[in-house]
Amino acid sequence: MPDTITFLGTADGVPSPARFHASLLLRLAGRTVLLDCGEPCSHTLKRLGADLTGLEAVIVTHTHSDHVAGLPMLLQAMWLARRTRPLAVHLPRHAIEPLRTWLRCCYLFEEQFKFRVHWRALTDKTAVRIGPVRIRARRTTHLDATRRRFARKYPRVGFDSFSLLIEGGGKRAVYSADLGRPRDLAPLLDKPVDLLIVELSHFHPRDLFDFLRERPIRRVALTHLGHQARAQLGLVRRLAARALKPSRVSFPRERAALEF
């Protein structure tokens, strides 16, 4: 099985008639992991014919609803598919108990499932191991402004958002998830990477491309396109081609699988 990333959703948080919210299916070294659960990820997995019982882990980079809202439906789909294999779900700690409560509100009682859900807190120190695959989380500044505004009023809410460094089978990839600024990625790009999947909605595309110029990256896939970037996709493509080698840049659409 080739090492691939399949793009289940490529929009930002603004609902779109043509694009879905953030979710990526990683196949690496024979293992399968879902990165983010933007809706309608279970629909798209079904449409692709993906095996819901074979998925080994889910990693939610942060709990903005365009990254997490598909998770209850995904668990329902696994329950109805009679999954028996345990599932590890990694997400920011503050959301674990509220989400389990929400599942019960949706009449999804974990004791009904034929599989165990292992809820795991995703932190800056997390190294998720799935066989030969290792995924490390690195905090970004994406939620810093929200933290400054709301942390005092809502002390039980965490404000962490993570990028992921994915290694396995001799490959190295980075998934930015949502950033505060392009240089949040600097610690993950200090060594060569085979693939960078990077968002394009929280800064000007030119700032990202200037940052990426000269970095040791074999391929760049641009995703999580903001509505402004979508409206000016021709211009964004030209800026990317000018700053980076055109052959190494792509703008995958829904259900596209990128081999790396």
Q: What is the 3-state secondary structure (H, E, C) of 18-75?
A: CCCCCEEEEEECCEEEEECCCCCHHHHHHHCCCCCCCCCEEECCCCCHHHHCCHHHHH
Told to check if 3 binds Zn ion by CB under 5 A, we report no
Residue closer to Zn ion by CB (options 116, 148) is 148
Distance, CA of 184 to CA of 176 (rounded, Å): 9
Q: By rule CB under 5 A, what string of x and - marks binding of each residue 30-69 to Zn ion?
A: ----------------------------------x-----
Told to check if 178 binds Zn ion by CB under 5 A, we report yes
Is the peptide bond between 40 and the residue preceding it cis, with omega within 30 degrees of 0? yes
Taking the complex as a whole, the smallest distance from the CB of residue 12 to Zn ion amounts, in Å, to 8
3-state secondary structure of 130: strand
Stretch binding Zn ion (CB under 5 A), from 27-35, 117-125, 128-136, 170-178:
170-178
End-to-end CA distance of the chain: 12
Residue closer to Zn ion by CB (options 3, 178) is 178
> What tokens does 40 get?
């309608």
Told to check if 21 binds Zn ion by CB under 5 A, we report no
Given a contact cutoff of 8 angstroms between Cβ atoms, the answer to whether 245 and 215 are in contact is no
Taking the complex as a whole, the smallest distance from the CB of residue 200 to Zn ion amounts, in Å, to 13
Taking the complex as a whole, the smallest distance from the CB of residue 40 to Zn ion amounts, in Å, to 18
Taking the complex as a whole, the smallest distance from the CB of residue 199 to Zn ion amounts, in Å, to 8
Judged by the rule CB under 5 A, the positions of this chain that interact with Zn ion are 64, 178
